[in-house]
Structure 1
């Protein structure tokens, strides 16, 4: 029997697990981290590497270590050249990743790792039973649900029938590399789409790159106002007793489909150089041709043709783990808001010994819950209980 099981080994789960070990709230042999991938942060590293992201959007104090200045010290100790960028000192991605992996190695997260798929959860007299897709199960006093949202890609309705096709692919798909030749169309208007489009324009073997977005590029430094990190906005948010209102506040606070100014300027430069076409319009449908090209039919502008369509349209709008959490919610009568997401305590406890992090904690933590700052906050809340 374990003391703690953390389900999900991405940014959220790794941060919580690392803090539990570092604060000596649990011994390594009493902690289990379950994730579909072979290593911590594997999905994060695969996707950010695919789109050739160079710097994080968040500032230097947002990382997995408890010490907010840990990444600064790490940069100096290991002589990273230009480790941070701009007035907000956004860290180099490679440095952030190595800092994270070194921390997880030091705290012992790597030794607690189990690769596998969770298929169910139930509460017994002995504790929580976590069921695996391969038939095994594990028992623990406490469970942290830290599943990410990026494991299910959002396909717009016009692209649904092309799932699994070589012509239309989603950037969140783990086993795909970027195309090396032909005319490529990127669909999306946020940071992932912008990084992806820019990376493709750097490949000389690509003939043309077209970025199709539903709205003009929106420029924001961060994915939500920094005021959501502290009392400036959270004091008022915490007083909201309506979870419907909280959901509306979260949706309005997030700068969805926005890009940083430096990335915006890079795209403009490539557009002026003739390496990138940018179209603002709604896609209506797809037309496939016999010469292995595909055509996007637009609502207002001319159609766009290419050999590959890459979707950067984000994750599907769904609660993480919904397929196996729904029976648990019903059996345990766990509280949920009208949107279906958990109603939890200040310590992020959903049921006795059952905790949440990331997207599942956002009705309590607020708009920053899904990002690195949210992972830090979730870890602090769980630690207060532990």
Structure 2
């Protein structure tokens, strides 16, 4: 029999115990991320001093981030019978049928999700909640007595609701940043495998859910991979909303910005016990800056894209500030694009012109989008279909690279296990080179490329071209006799210069530890080897044993233990997980490793 992890429990006070500041935080325009490191609103009244909580209030686990990686991890921590298949096992379906659950069990699991995930079941009385908790404990005991003795026991939902396990994220809700980006850019189709999702029970559950709900037409067949490998974002979001409700973890994410992580030797436990003191800015209306203590910590932040500022842009920034230009003129960085789109949408709504009407107070805009990845292509399609746009040019410094995923198809197919074995056989420097080789910069799916080429009147594609020079030009309109500022762009291909109203930089950036202030502070106390800015982690994605580092003397016992209780997921785990560590497949891959490590480490604290 299949089993649902957690019974949905109604906690009348939990909304009051979560801190959700109301300040507006910038949203990253890059997709597949949940960046927790945007600049927060600083509480000036605190003068940078953090309020320290109760000395005895030490959390068992703190998870930083609430994107797909953090969600996938928490669900695997709660599920009594999780799918802990390795990626190699998962890619060889015909050779490990004994480890695959029956179709009946998976369908039973989906039915339980649907039964538990409805809003009606979340409004039961406290007596019914206690009965469910008792039944859950019985199921947990039954799962221990089965042939899963090698699987560490699950964590308890009640410990999450009571705050022993906390999730902190700058957006304040599960996958909120993800959903905002998808909605703003109007992304209808995911660029990931159909079996890459957060359900901890079985990797086929999204497919079964779609079939049982009559939505299998939202699963996309890739003939060259001979399976339905992609799905629509609406289906994906609905399924994950069901998971969040069914496992009872809605409304548990606290909104805040993590400023630093400082591991220390605990003065309240055994001499060798470490404590992580995390400095969190909850916002001026929700307590300001506080220190949160935890025994363990997981860094599941999304990519923090700090773009390189080209030389031509520096002068433009200075002149832009002098001119005090309106919001529809100038250069937008990757983190500024989605907020601009949201404001533009709101402006249209306020003016009652959501239809094809244009603004009366401005001419249609000419936009230059710089970037060679899927996000820049989707932005181009969005802008071209907008009433406020006259034309859009997509500028790429290389030839357009078309492929279904942001890595080669072989990494996603039946040969995935072999590719991973080859990757793990390399030393860390060779792995770093393989990461760059496998991703090859930005790429566009074939469907998106065909759509780009089909709208010739509004979209111009310039390949193997870069910006050589940009300067402001001012002309006076004959209609309203007001100055009109344009960005005159000179390209390095020798073509005539062009005037644009805006330049959008959708170029992405290289991720390194130095882009994450919390990890910079952590690395100062627990140094570890870096290759191209990425940390060399252990197999379970914990902060590598200090003995590998060339230190003058052996680390104290509490530091060695602290390394085993701090984990990294996502793009920063690339040297261990491979080139798709950032993606949904990487979320599944990483959660299997980290969840097993955490469950084993916390086993003694959750014995029944």
TM-score, normalised relative to structure 1 = 0.91
Report the alpha carbon displacement of residue 375 of structure 1 after superposing the two structures with TM.
Answer: 0.4
Which of 186, 198, 201 pairs up with 2:369?
186
Residue in 1 that maps onto 2:220: 85
| Gap change, CA 1:145 and 1:338, over 3 Å in 2 | same
Residue in 1 that maps onto 2:603: none
Trace 1:26-105 onto structure 2 (pairs within 5 A): 26=156, 27-28=159-160, 29=162, 30-66=164-200, 67-80=202-215, 82-87=217-222, 88-105=228-245
| Gap change, CA 1:50 and 1:184, over 3 Å in 2 | same
Report the alpha carbon displacement of residue 316 of structure 1 after superposing the two structures with TM.
Answer: 5.3
Q: 3-state DSSP class of the match of 2:513?
A: coil
Which of 277, 293, 296 pairs up with 1:139?
293
Residue in 2 that maps onto 1:376: 588
Q: 3-state DSSP class of the match of 1:175?
A: helix
Residue in 2 that maps onto 1:303: 497
Q: 3-state DSSP class of the match of 1:118?
A: strand
CA contact 2:367–2:502 (8 Å) conserved in 1 = yes
Trace 1:264-303 onto structure 2 (pairs within 5 A): 264-271=449-456, 274-280=457-463, 281-290=465-474, 291-300=484-493, 301-303=495-497
1: CA distance, partners of 2:62 / 2:539: 20
Report the alpha carbon displacement of residue 157 of structure 1 after superposing the two structures with TM.
Answer: 4.1
Which of 11, 15, 35 pairs up with 2:68?
11
Report the alpha carbon displacement of residue 263 of structure 1 after superposing the two structures with TM.
Answer: 0.8
Q: 3-state DSSP class of the match of 1:314?
A: coil
Residue deviations 1:172-195, cap 9 Å, x none? 335221767321221112100111
| Gap change, CA 1:312 and 1:185, over 3 Å in 2 | same
Number of aligned residue pairs: 382
TM-score, normalised relative to structure 2 = 0.59
Q: 3-state DSSP class of the match of 1:121?
A: strand
Residue in 2 that maps onto 1:177: 341
Is 1:327 the equivalent of 2:475? no
CA contact 1:149–1:315 (8 Å) conserved in 2 = no
Residue in 1 that maps onto 2:121: none
Report the alpha carbon displacement of residue 155 of structure 1 after superposing the two structures with TM.
Answer: 4.5
2: CA distance, partners of 1:99 / 1:153: 33
Residue in 2 that maps onto 1:220: 403
Report the alpha carbon displacement of residue 222 of structure 1 after superposing the two structures with TM.
Answer: 1.1
Which of 448, 457, 471 pairs up with 1:263?
448
CA contact 2:169–2:256 (8 Å) conserved in 1 = yes
| 4+ long deviations beyond 6 Å | none
Which of 220, 244, 247 pairs up with 2:429?
244
Residue in 1 that maps onto 2:302: 148
1: CA distance, partners of 2:261 / 2:505: 33
Report the alpha carbon displacement of residue 226 of structure 1 after superposing the two structures with TM.
Answer: 4.2
Report the alpha carbon displacement of residue 369 of structure 1 after superposing the two structures with TM.
Answer: 0.4
Residue in 1 that maps onto 2:312: 158
CA contact 1:188–1:313 (8 Å) conserved in 2 = yes
Q: 3-state DSSP class of the match of 1:110?
A: coil
Residue in 1 that maps onto 2:155: 25
2: CA distance, partners of 1:142 / 1:108: 22
Report the alpha carbon displacement of residue 117 of structure 1 after superposing the two structures with TM.
Answer: 0.8
Residue in 2 that maps onto 1:348: 541
| Gap change, CA 1:379 and 1:317, over 3 Å in 2 | closer
Q: 3-state DSSP class of the match of 1:219?
A: coil
| Gap change, CA 1:176 and 1:153, over 3 Å in 2 | farther
Is 1:2 the equivalent of 2:59? yes
Segments of 5+ residues of structure 1 without an aligned counterpart are none
Residue in 1 that maps onto 2:276: 128
CA contact 1:153–1:172 (8 Å) conserved in 2 = no
CA contact 2:305–2:511 (8 Å) conserved in 1 = no
Report the alpha carbon displacement of residue 34 of structure 1 after superposing the two structures with TM.
Answer: 0.8
Larger radius of gyration: 2
Residue deviations 1:37-76, cap 9 Å, x none? 1212122222222221110111211111122122122223
2: CA distance, partners of 1:43 / 1:303: 37
Q: 3-state DSSP class of the match of 1:132?
A: strand
2: CA distance, partners of 1:318 / 1:155: 17
Q: 3-state DSSP class of the match of 2:335?
A: coil
2: CA distance, partners of 1:231 / 1:320: 32
